[in-house]
A = this chain, B = another copy of it.
């Protein structure tokens, strides 16, 4: 059997050494586990970005994978520390909405991690979350890690609003490195309106003319606003949270 995998997502960057500290804990406590960097380049304290990034990949890994995810502006406050089992995968991280993609799946189980008195007040990633991830990777059950969480966990979603005229109002969830604006709308025939401009739906970048802003179904199944060989966000001044409206054909 292959070694269990622990993925890491943080907003730490790598230069300061905090990520290496996490890895030292993981290698010490789970020496057989395979460590996989998801990213350490989430913008500092941007829980919303982290949530969307996690949503992309957590179910691409096989059952049994442990996802360690630490973007934690509330560290040292009363926010709970969670371990989660969802669809056969494990997730460990703070109760601030970051783990929403897994928390929204039916059948999810959640426990609250105890806070050891020795834990730093500023770095629960190292002192609380990494040890829990290592324990899961070495065979501990969720129940061994903590007690069932009885409070409501923080779940973030970005709902689409259906309008009486048949149109649907969503929003830009994220702008990626290529300047594509990913929305929360499912691709359907019709026209997309963003920033006062109407764009048509195409199947692939290659179906757009040079410089033409278009909508297309991105790799996650959601509509993206893109410019072929260009940067749509820069061209159209698209930013996170900007409304995007679908008008049926």
A contacts, CB < 8 Å to B: 2, 5, 7, 9, 11-21, 23-25, 27-28, 31-32, 34-45, 49, 52-57, 59-62, 65, 73-78, 120-123, 126-127, 174, 176-178, 203-207, 216-219, 224, 229
Q: Distance in Å from the Cβ of A136 to the closest Cβ of chain B?
A: 16
Q: Which residue of B lies closest to A30 (CB)?
A: B2
Additional A-B contact list (8), CB under 8 Å, known A5-B27, A14-B37, A15-B53: A14-B39, A17-B53, A23-B38, A24-B60, A35-B36, A44-B177, A76-B205, A122-B205
Q: Distance in Å from the Cβ of A198 to the closest Cβ of chain B?
A: 21
Q: Shortest 9 CB-CB distances between A and B: which pairs?
A: A24-B60, A76-B204, A123-B219, A17-B56, A2-B31, A20-B57, A14-B39, A17-B53, A121-B204
Q: In the bound complex, how far is the Cα of B64 from the Cα of A27, in angstroms?
A: 12
Given contacts A205-B76, A218-B122, contact A39 B20 (CB under 8 A): yes
Report how many copies the assembly holds: 3
Q: Is the CB of B177 within 8 A of A12?
A: yes
Q: Distance in Å from the Cβ of A89 to the closest Cβ of chain B?
A: 10
Q: Is the CB of A17 within 8 A of B36?
A: no
Q: Is the CB of B27 within 8 A of A15?
A: no
- B24, B42, B121, B229: the one contacting A73 at CB < 8 Å is B229
- B14, B17, B219: the one contacting A120 at CB < 8 Å is B219
Q: Distance in Å from the Cβ of A139 to the closest Cβ of chain B?
A: 15
Q: In the bound complex, how far is the Cα of B40 from the Cα of A39, in angstroms?
A: 10
Q: Is the CB of A21 within 8 A of B121?
A: no
Q: In the bound complex, how far is the Cα of B35 from the Cα of A5, in angstroms?
A: 12
